[in-house]
Structure 1
Amino acid sequence: MTNAEENNNRNSVPILSWDFHYERVNELKSAFSDLKKVKQISTEFHWDDKSLDVQERLKEEVVVITDLELKIVFASTGIKKMTGYTENEILGKTPKIFQGPDTSETTLNEIREAIQLQVPFEKTVKNYKKNGKVYDCKICGVPVFNLKGQLSHFIAFEKEEKSA
């Protein structure tokens, strides 16, 4: 074997390992970018966001922030994997974009009531992906108040529930 062949054999790394590394680096970049955007919103509207634990929750959940008219102003990058929609496709729309015929009107009314009362809620609803596929979405919704105690936004931590 020549010297060049020995070097090639010794330094070879399976391409798959680079793929995993690249994928992980992209996940970390996305999480950092998402956290930065939430921090910007938090700072702009003077939230006390310590209790929201966004950094930890971003690891496992999709974060959606709406204004007081329930128009989406932010969605973490995980929204694409969960729903098929990109953030840009849903900005300015309401969460109704994810609802359809199998979405429980009773559950939606319970969520509306919690929003009107400005209290946290936890519900699982049947939502629809961009391709029309139905999925169970566990939503932990929280009203967000600014430092003066005024309602500013609503934040939802969402996760697709896997069917048994």
Structure 2
Amino acid sequence: MNNFRQYEEAIAKYHKCLSIKTLPVFSWDFHHEFLHELKNSFLDLSKLNSIASQNKWIQNNWDLKTRIKEEVIIVTDAKLSIVFASHNMVKMNGYASAEVVGKSPKMFQGQETNLDTSNEIRKAIELKLPFEKTVLNYKKNGETYLCEIKAFPIFNAKGELSHFIAFEKAA
């Protein structure tokens, strides 16, 4: 019996001398959330690159890696049907990307949206010009929010309008 007691005391002494850094259980959630966001950013970037290569977009100077982490990115085809929406859109307005693909960006507008601003956006789109506007949009739950939009027409290698891309964030 004496040997077991000495052994247990030696183990206890050894563990007391260790400088072990422990993490509280609740920190695991933060880590999981970070990994989930990182995975979604990677998937979004892959989808964007795939759309760009399939449609032979002309090179641009957008820093998509940074923007995809900080802003919502929406891509429409030339007829203004949404073909891509980044995963982080859920944080801004409550919509999952799958809920908006195939729809028009007008789905985010409502009664209180300024018609003058909407008309200015429409004219810029018709003229195939970039624009920067702040619009009153509606969340999925019906609440309003100000959305800062920076949008650009995208042309393919033949010089034809291919898509529009919008970088959005809550203002």
The TM-score with structure 2 as length reference comes to 0.87
State percent identity of aligned pairs.
Answer: 51
Alpha carbons 1:42, 1:49 under 8 Å: kept: no
Q: Determine the structure 2 residue equivalent to 1:134.
A: 144
- Structure 1 residue identity aligned to 2:32: Y
Alpha carbons 1:64, 1:74 under 8 Å: kept: yes
User: Please, which runs of 5 or more residues in structure 2 have no aligned partner?
Assistant: 1-7
Q: Determine the structure 2 residue equivalent to 1:14.
A: 24
**Cα distance, 1:10 vs. partner?**
4.3
Q: Distance in 2 between matches of 1:49 and 1:62?
A: 20
Task: Map 1:1-164 onto structure 2 (within 5 A).
Answer: 3=11, 6=15, 10=20, 12-161=22-171
Secondary structure of 1:139's counterpart equals strand
- Structure 2 residue identity aligned to 1:56: T
- Structure 1 residue identity aligned to 2:61: S
Q: Distance in 2 between matches of 1:11 and 1:56?
A: 32
Give the root-mean-square deviation of aligned CA atoms: 2.1
Q: 1:96-139 deviations in whole A, cap 9, x for unaligned? A: 11000110000000000000110100000000000000000000
Higher CA-based Rg: 2
Q: Distance in 1 between matches of 2:113 and 2:161?
A: 27
Secondary structure of 1:23's counterpart equals helix
**Cα distance, 1:65 vs. partner?**
0.3
Q: Distance in 2 between matches of 1:60 and 1:114?
A: 25
Q: Distance in 2 between matches of 1:32 and 1:49?
A: 20
- Structure 1 residue identity aligned to 2:154: V
Q: Distance in 1 between matches of 2:59 and 2:112?
A: 34
The TM-score with structure 1 as length reference comes to 0.90
